[in-house]
């Protein structure tokens, strides 16, 4: 029997985890990762908050909930094995007034249903025991929520792939994928390769890669940027771990929160607003193609009209640093405008359906020899190793390679 050849499109944390899992499940196979950038983990993996989510919010029984809890354990062990920074700094979700208590209790019930360990409801006095400078009437405490160096995880995954005989080809943008049912062909600027199975994990470009390969155009990616501010080092003691707001169902995005980073820095944010480019990490960067793609999509306008109050809230934090900091001060009043400076920007690959509704769960599509990871939102990085198990199992079954 000839050697099985498998390709993964995308060198972010999910794509790298999928390639590593393929090598584990197909001993002796030839596995190639195609990444268009000059390094792995260049986009969402390298521009997120670094939080390892415990599974507090997700609908019990959903793919998100299942893969998050499985992913936490796999990620923690992998980080320990590879010497990548991982810290259980803990998280509190803080209710600012009694109106938020019912929503907070609902999160607590979900967390319990999802098997999040040692999660508990605490009162105002207990909040200051955990976060001395935080304020609220009550909170949910998740002591095992963690932070990690996701770029370090991505680099370690790439090293594992090469050590197992696979290849990570950088600077190789995939321009086309075709399939005849038994084989798939991947075209790059260097030519065309033929594979027994192809799995795309293209993140911010996932809809385009999938649609160009014959898949549905929906869900469609609409990019939203999120800006962070950094707390000055001399004020970093104001925050010990993660301080989050109670999610408000009126808003599609969480809002500003406070996050300890794996290197000890404290981040405020992110906000969320339509990005002028899928890969525009600086305010002055834009892509006319991406702008036209987003605003020319009817579903986006339906979403926008249904979320005018959210747009108003987010625009204030985009236009005014003071407004941004005031959002954080709701939870840690000792922070002042003078204590912060502008930090990094991330881009969220928000999957949106044709009717303008947001696709909340992980989405896997494709058939036969070609599988697409269409949506891997937060907790996608947390769940990456578990997503890889799930996707590879599904892909090998569809391709009859088990």
Q: Which tens digit of pLDDT belongs to each residue from 16-36?
A: 999 999 999 999 999 999 999
Element (H, E) at 9: strand 5-9
| Strand blocks (E) in 232-303 | 242-245, 257-260, 266-269, 273-274
Q: Which CATH superfamily is 5-46+151-219+360-398 part of? A: FAD/NAD(P)-binding domain (3.50.50.60)
Q: Would the CA dihedral through 311, 313, 315, 318 be positive or negative?
A: negative
Tokens of 92: 């509190």
* Strand bridging mode 191-195 / 184-188: antiparallel
User: 32-53 in b/e burial notation, b at 16+ Cβ within 10 A?
Assistant: bbbbbbeebbbbbbbbbbbbbb
What's the confidence (pLDDT) of residue 182?
84
- Look up residue 253 and give its DSSP letter: S
pLDDT at 402: 67
What confidence score (pLDDT) does residue 101 get? 98
The domain 88-146+222-352 is placed in CATH, from the list 3.30.9.10, 3.30.420.140, 3.40.50.1580, 3.40.190.10, at 3.30.9.10
Residue 148: its pLDDT value, please? Answer: 98
Could you report the average pLDDT of every consecutive run of 10 residues in the chain (402 residues)? 90 98 97 98 97 96 95 98 98 97 98 98 98 98 98 98 98 96 92 97 98 96 98 97 94 94 97 97 97 96 95 95 97 98 97 96 92 96 98 93 75
Give the total residue count for the chain: 402
CATH 3.30.9.10 residue spans of the chain: 88-146+222-352
């Amino acid at each position: 029997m000839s050697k099985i050849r498998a390709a993964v499109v995308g060198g972010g944390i999910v794509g790298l985890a999928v390639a590593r899992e393929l090598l584990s499940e197909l001993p002796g196979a030839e596995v190639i990762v195609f990444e268009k950038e000059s390094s792995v983990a260049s986009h969402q993996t390298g521009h997120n908050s670094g939080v390892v989510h415990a599974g507090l919010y997700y609908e019990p029984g959903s793919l998100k909930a299942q893969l998050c809890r499985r992913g936490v354990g796999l990620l923690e062990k992998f980080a320990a094995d590879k010497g990548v920074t991982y810290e259980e700094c803990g998280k509190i979700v803080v209710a600012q007034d009694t109106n938020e208590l019912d929503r907070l209790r609902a999160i607590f019930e979900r967390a319990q249903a999802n098997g999040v360990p040692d999660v508990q409801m605490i009162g105002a006095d207990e909040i200051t025991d955990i976060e001395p400078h935080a304020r609220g009437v009550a909170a949910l405490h998740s002591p095992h929520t963690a932070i990690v160096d996701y770029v370090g995880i991505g680099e370690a995954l790439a090293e594992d792939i090469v050590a197992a005989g696979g290849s990570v080809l950088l600077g190789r943008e995939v321009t086309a994928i075709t399939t005849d049912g038994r084989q798939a062909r991947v075209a790059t600027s260097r030519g065309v390769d033929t594979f027994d199975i192809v799995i795309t994990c293209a993140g911010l470009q996932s809809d385009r890669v999938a649609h160009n390969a014959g898949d549905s155009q929906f869900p469609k990616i609409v990019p939203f940027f999120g800006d962070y501010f950094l707390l000055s080092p001399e004020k970093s003691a104001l925050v010990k771990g993660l301080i989050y707001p109670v999610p408000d169902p009126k808003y599609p995005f969480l809002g500003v929160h406070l996050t300890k980073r794996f290197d000890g820095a404290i981040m405020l944010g992110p906000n969320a607003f339509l990005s002028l480019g899928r890969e525009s990490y600086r305010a002055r960067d834009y892509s006319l193609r991406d702008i036209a793609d987003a605003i020319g999509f009817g579903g986006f306008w339906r979403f926008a009209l249904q979320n005018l109050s959210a747009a108003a809230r987010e625009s204030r934090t985009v236009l005014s640093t003071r407004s941004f900091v005031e959002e954080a001060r709701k939870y840690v009043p000792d922070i002042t405008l003078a204590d912060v400076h502008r930090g990094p920007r991330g881009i969220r690959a928000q999957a949106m359906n044709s009717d303008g509704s947001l696709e909340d769960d992980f989405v896997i599509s494709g058939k036969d020899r070609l599988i697409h990871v269409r949506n891997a939102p937060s907790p996608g990085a947390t769940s990456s190793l578990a997503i890889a198990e799930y996707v590879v199992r599904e892909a090998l079954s569809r391709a009859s390679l088990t």
